[in-house]
């Protein structure tokens, strides 16, 4: 069998296999077969990466949706607004059931610092997405107020 003396990459002939080897090492360090192999490997790696990213996105997206308790009847949700004072300024809730109070965007200033001293509630709500959460454990009528006492109201726990 005759030894190879032709470069297929640049279509040139060489006087000996050694000359071809020197040419290839200088001009074409990666053969066509190796290039094709590298391209296939790169393609497979890219496909795997895309599948992993897509799978991770779907996993975490579904996780957050399924973990969300939007319509939980076990949570008492109240939204307060401002009309010279907290509105409504009398709230009735059930003891032992979690309460979530949202202060809408009409509430400004110190009114965003919500306190029910007798129940140990003192939380700030910088914007309407901040929720004031607590669970009243004792029945009775309690006063709520802002941090300066300008806004007031009553919470009745049955």
Helix (H) or strand (E) holding 144: strand 140-145
Q: Return d(Cα 59, Cα 48) in angstroms, integer.
A: 16
Q: How far is Cα 29 from Cα 46, in angstroms, rounded to an integer?
A: 24
Amino acid 72: pLDDT: 55
- Spatial neighbors of 121 by CB under 8 A, at least 6 apart, are 114, 115, 132, 134, 144
What pLDDT score does 105 carry?
93
CB atoms within 10 A of CB 88: 14
Kindly report the CA angle at 32 between 47 and 12, in degrees rounded to 5?
Answer: 160
Q: How many CA atoms lie within 13 A of 134 on its CB side?
A: 21
Annotated domain spans of the chain = 6-66, 76-157
> Does the pTM exceed 0.75?
no
* pLDDT per residue as tens, the chain (158 positions): 567 788 887 888 989 888 888 887 787 766 556 666 777 888 888 989 888 887 776 655 543 333 333 445 689 999 999 988 999 999 999 999 999 999 999 999 999 999 999 999 999 999 889 999 999 999 999 999 999 999 999 999 99
Q: Domain spanning 76-157 has what CATH number?
A: 2.60.40.420
Q: Classify residue 11 by burial, with Cβ atoms within 10 Å: 0-12, 13-18, 19+.
A: exposed
CA-CA distance, 107 to 54, in Å (whole number)? Answer: 41
Output phi, psi for 9, to 5 deg: -70, -45
- The reported pLDDT for the residue numbered 6 is 87
């Amino acid at each position: 069998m005759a030894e190879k003396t032709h470069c297929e990459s640049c279509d040139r002939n060489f006087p000996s296999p050694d000359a071809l080897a020197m040419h290839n090492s200088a001009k074409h360090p990666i053969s066509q077969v190796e290039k094709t192999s590298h391209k296939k490997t790169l393609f497979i790696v890219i496909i795997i990466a895309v599948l992993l990213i897509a799978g991770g996105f779907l996993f975490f997206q579904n996780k957050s949706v399924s973990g969300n308790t939007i319509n939980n009847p076990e949570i008492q949700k109240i939204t307060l607004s401002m009309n010279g004072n907290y509105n409504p300024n009398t709230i009735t809730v059930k003891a032992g059931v979690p309460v979530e109070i949202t202060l809408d965007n009409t509430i400004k200033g110190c009114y965003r610092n919500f306190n029910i001293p007798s129940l140990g509630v003192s939380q700030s709500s910088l914007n309407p997405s901040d929720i004031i959460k607590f669970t009243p454990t004792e029945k009775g009528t309690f006063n709520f107020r802002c941090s300066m006492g300008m806004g007031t109201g009553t919470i009745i726990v049955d």
